[in-house]
Structure 1
């Protein structure tokens, strides 16, 4: 009898964990449902991919989730089609085109893709090594992953762990996930397979 109770108890927690880790697509491949555009730069869907592209104003632009996410594992693919200065923000809030939060960099070679930057605050918090940056494909599809648990953030690029950082300010943050397009013009980046696993 006790053995049966223990089995049921274990199955309950396994089931609960499976629910917590159930992946959810943030981008459906058809439209921008679940997202909000900030600024005048271009965000559109083309052939099942999400495209961010500089508009005539050549300013900062963001595409944020309508929902806030605290602890999660986020995976995504991106392709740098033209001067891909972009990024993925975590626990972010946006007022106009001014963002508060932390950016996992997406950028051309030699520009710290996978590093963590705090906008309108402390600036660069941590950068990957030049050797690790070689994991970036400058003209093909790349696989990014971000794990955020409490005050710890870890990033990966094409299966390579890029950085890990523990920071109390990040730990106290809360907000949306947001994709960025940098100011300056001439930028175009494609995204696909944006999937989140929410964690307790």
Structure 2
């Protein structure tokens, strides 16, 4: 009886969800497609995006589409990088690293296409971001609202007026910078 009551409460509050899907657990990039340069590899459970001297754009897109979901992962980088997680399409992204346009770290902030840029900046990131170490990020994508947690701290809740209802998830290596970013323990949990 208690479990049915708890499930009903979770459903009403929008917290209940499907089973987490562990991405990249197969040790290969099956189910993913690269747009741009072939900068993505996976080894020992770590997805790596590393550019070369050509500094081209590269996005690794899921072939699967998602509606409302939570993506959780760990990421690691050092130095000047420009990356992020695309949410349902290429104009909605949560930034990781330095913005090419603003020339400063905007980790956790939404980037909403070139016309909108960064409409809202994540707060408290400097206090919790550990450059060169593994950082834990959780992004809850519910309708047009994005809530981002970084190392256990909520750094932003943003409501987008251009969010798509469903679409793929993407990981980016930005053009114009020679960089390396690593992701591990990536899971996606549907919220509907």
Q: TM-score, normalised by structure 1?
A: 0.82
| Bigger proportion of residues as strand | 1
- Aligned equivalents of 1:115 and 1:133: distance in 2? 12
Which residue of structure 2 aligns with residue 97 of structure 1? none
Cα deviation, 1:129-161, whole Å, max 9, x if unaligned, reads 3x4332111110000110011121100110111
- Aligned equivalents of 1:139 and 1:29: distance in 2? 26
Which residue of structure 1 aligns with residue 21 of structure 2? 24
- Aligned equivalents of 1:173 and 1:196: distance in 2? 16
- Aligned equivalents of 2:50 and 2:71: distance in 1? 22
* Pairing of 1:1-200 with structure 2 (within 5 A): 7=1, 10=4, 20-28=17-25, 30-92=27-89, 100-107=90-97, 110-129=104-123, 131-170=124-163, 172-200=164-192
Q: TM-score, normalised by structure 2?
A: 0.85
- Once the two structures are TM-superposed, the CA of residue 22 in structure 1 deviates from its matched residue by 0.9
Q: Which structure's CA Rg is the greater one?
A: 1
SS of residue paired to 2:55? coil
- Alignment: residue pair count: 184
Of the structure 1 ranges 178-187 and 40-49, higher mean CA displacement relative to structure 2 is found in 40-49
SS of residue paired to 2:171? strand
- Once the two structures are TM-superposed, the CA of residue 58 in structure 1 deviates from its matched residue by 1.2
CA root-mean-square deviation: 2.6
Structure 2: 5+ residue stretches without partners? none
- Once the two structures are TM-superposed, the CA of residue 9 in structure 1 deviates from its matched residue by 11
Q: Is the 8 A contact 2:143 2:165 kept in 1?
A: no
